[in-house]
Amino acid sequence: MLLFLVPMLFASATTRRIDQLTAYGLLGLLLLAVWLFRVRDRITLDRVRGFLLSGPNLPIVLYLVWGGFSAATSSERFYSNVALIQLAFGAVVYGVTVYQFRRREQVRALLTSVLTIGVVVVIAALAIDRGHHLQSLAGAFHDRQLFGAFLSLILPVVLGIAAGTRRKLWKLGATTACILIGGALLMTTCRSSWLGFITALGFFGVLSVVFVLKFQSFATHKHEMIVTPAIILAALGIFVFFTQSGGDITKRAATVQSIQNDDSVKDRFKLWNVGMKVLEARPLTGWGVGTYALAQQPFNPESRSREIILQMGPSLSESPHNFYIQLAAEQGLVGLALYLSILAMFFYRGVRALPRMDRGLRQFTLIGCLAAIAGQCVDGIANPGYAYPEVSTFVWLILGMGMCAAGVGQEVEEDRNSRDDDGPVFGLPHFLYRGMRTALIGCAVVWVGAQLLNLDQLSAASAGTAGVTAAQGTPHRPTYCNEITRLDLDYLNDTVGPTRCWDINSGAIYEDRLAKFHVYALTDDIRFFANVTFERKSIKFKLHGIKGKFLYQETVNNPIFYFTPAKKQGGKTGTIDVSYKCTSPNQTYTTRFVLTILPSGDPIDESATRARRNSQGTSPDSVDFLQTLPGLITMPVEDDDTPVTQP
């Protein structure tokens, strides 16, 4: 059930990120409590030592401790606490997977869940993005990089299930899942995830030949290594053909030939350089877990201001697009070393277990998990997705599945035949020890739960001066109605941002281009404002003198309103009236923006922009650009034909 809840939880509006993370933390807390209540009562030093020396357990414990230290010493406690919740939840998923899935039927249920999740998420993505010609497939993940990271992570595991099971129904289902997930991975057009899966596939093949098929028996099993993959590739081709995504995939793959000239690659090198500067400033301990977005701002001249990041929340634009650089910048070289030691011990323990295992589902599952983490190591070099909980949860899950298959859960020695469980524990009577343990777990659950439910107050405190709730509060759960004094727009087609954008009340676009807006709630103090674009249900538009439609896109922490002119609107000037309805008190705030729609080819008056009163900037995005955007929502618009004169 947990595996189904995580992708569903983060499939909702990304603008409710704090609610998502709070529920995420509570879910992990519940899982931890159940696990602790199920462990054996008697805890001895030998069992603790055996636990720490099994697989990557010791590096994981040290990594958790270091993460707690990093959060405790961080100057941005809210973001660090959120990141620590994510880290702790992942470790709980790992522990439960290794030590609670011991029976064969439990393991099969887990593998079935992974298969089902992969298929359901892909089908949902195809349904969500069907209106956008399935370009840059993202689905419920809202971003193709996050979706690509997820797919490249679980695909090797699904491939291992297909290769290892002897049940015909399972093999058919796993093979079908491979085709669907592989086709969806291609349709994300995420090159780093492609490279990660290619690495995983090569790793899978090498381990299979060396430890399963053996070199001497390769000839007798060549159909498994050649014919079956050929059938899967053919089915993938048919899948891509029927989804009509072959052209986009081919174009994206062709960019690899001139990768050094690719704009996205150049941008990543810039972001990596910024990340290295952030790391060099605090190389040992870092800036604090989860604080990279704020830490990079002084080192990145193209970054949004600190105030805007606090108001709108971190986004992918503040990510270095390199998981290792981000981890090192946040937790220092110590944190990076501990994370790499987790991976090293995982590979060491997994590869050592392969020769001692019989050929079958368990062995191929371990190979699939090893290959998945190998691919993640490569994909993480250029993919920011692994810093997000909807992806990182499955990294920890696969680490746990791999160690479960390798038998780490059986390395903690338990004498099931002992009869002294009713004896004293740590010098305490058994009944007293058990009661104290139950009370301790219950109190810890209540305290941590209270901290999780208090995230919103922490978010408010993280934004600045206490006492101005509206400007400080997280933009995802605002309470602006009591503090807002006026409404204004940020016309995103120009380069003028808050707070100077409040002086701009008109602009121009070509008739085949888009106008883009953010809506802001302002207070009497210019220092305090909040982006309320995400509150689309409280915002209404009315057009005078021009016609067109407004579309709303929910993106990761950056929702945008798009205005696209209707046909034959070139040469007209009109107004856009925007209203924002508050409750308690019941009041509506409005603002007006004058928009001129120019016939294609007319010159743009750049001097008007410099005058700071009339923005004539144009959007590089054409109306056709809307077809590439997932999750668009058409907004209701009132309009009339009253002519409007440009002031």
Task: Please state at what angle helix 361-379 crosses helix 191-207, rounded to 10 degrees.
Answer: 140
Q: How many CB atoms lie under 10 A from the CB of residue 293?
A: 24
Give the pLDDT of residue 132: 54
Higher pLDDT, 613 or 40: 40
Which run of H or of E encompasses 541?
A: strand 539-544
Among candidate residues 352, 292, 360, the one with its CA nearest the CA of residue 328? 292
Which run of H or of E encompasses 595?
A: strand 587-598
Reduce the DSSP state of residue 497 to 3 states and report it: coil
Higher pLDDT, 520 or 468: 520
Condensed to tens digits (0 to 9), the pLDDT of residues 368-386 reads 999 999 999 999 999 988 9
Give the pLDDT of residue 318: 82
Give the pLDDT of residue 263: 74
Of all residues in the chain, the percent with pLDDT exceeding 90 is 25
Higher pLDDT, 325 or 568: 325
588-604 average pLDDT score:
80
Cα distances from 98 to residues 88, 103, 360, 386, 403, in angstroms, run 15, 11, 19, 21, 6
Higher pLDDT, 286 or 140: 286
pLDDT of residue 559 exceeding 90: no
Give the pLDDT of residue 316: 73
Higher pLDDT, 27 or 38: 27
Return the structure tokens found at 417: 């035949």
* Phi, then psi, of 357 in degrees rounded to 5: -100, 145
- Maximum average pLDDT range among 11-20, 110-119, 222-231: 110-119
Give the pLDDT of residue 493: 79
pLDDT of residue 29 exceeding 60: yes
Give the pLDDT of residue 104: 81
Instruction: Return mean pLDDT, the chain.
Output: 76
Higher pLDDT, 401 or 407: 401
Give the pLDDT of residue 584: 64
Higher pLDDT, 541 or 631: 541
pLDDT of residue 458 exceeding 60: no
pLDDT of residue 472 exceeding 50: no
Give the pLDDT of residue 10: 57
pLDDT of residue 118 exceeding 60: yes
Give the pLDDT of residue 46: 74
Give the pLDDT of residue 211: 86
Higher pLDDT, 585 or 513: 513
CA angle 357, 362, 363 (to 5 degrees): 50
- Maximum average pLDDT range among 211-225, 413-427, 492-506: 492-506
Higher pLDDT, 600 or 562: 562
284-305 average pLDDT score:
88
Residue with tokens 């108001």: 311
Q: How far apart are the first and last CA of the chain?
A: 60
Give the pLDDT of residue 388: 86
CA gap 580, 437 in Å, rounded:
52
Asked which of 2-16, 19-33, 566-580 is least confident by mean pLDDT, the reply is: 2-16
What Rg, from alpha-carbon coordinates, does the chain have? 27
DSSP state of 75: S
**CB neighbour list of residue 76: distance below 8 Å, 6 or more residues apart:** 288, 290, 291, 294, 462
Give the pLDDT of residue 38: 63
Give the pLDDT of residue 468: 31
Give the pLDDT of residue 153: 94
362, 160 contact by CB (below 8 A): no
CA gap 614, 647 in Å, rounded:
10
Cα torsion through 446, 452, 458, 460, rounded to 10: -120
Give the pLDDT of residue 228: 58
Please state the pTM of the whole predicted model: 0.69
Strand-strand pairing, 560-565 and 515-522: antiparallel
* pLDDT confidence band for 403 (50 / 70 / 90): very high
pLDDT of residue 257 exceeding 70: no
CA gap 124, 107 in Å, rounded:
26
Rounded to whole angstroms, the maximal C-alpha distance in the chain is: 92
Give the pLDDT of residue 462: 38
CB burial of residue 50 (10 Å; 0-12, 13-18, 19+): middle
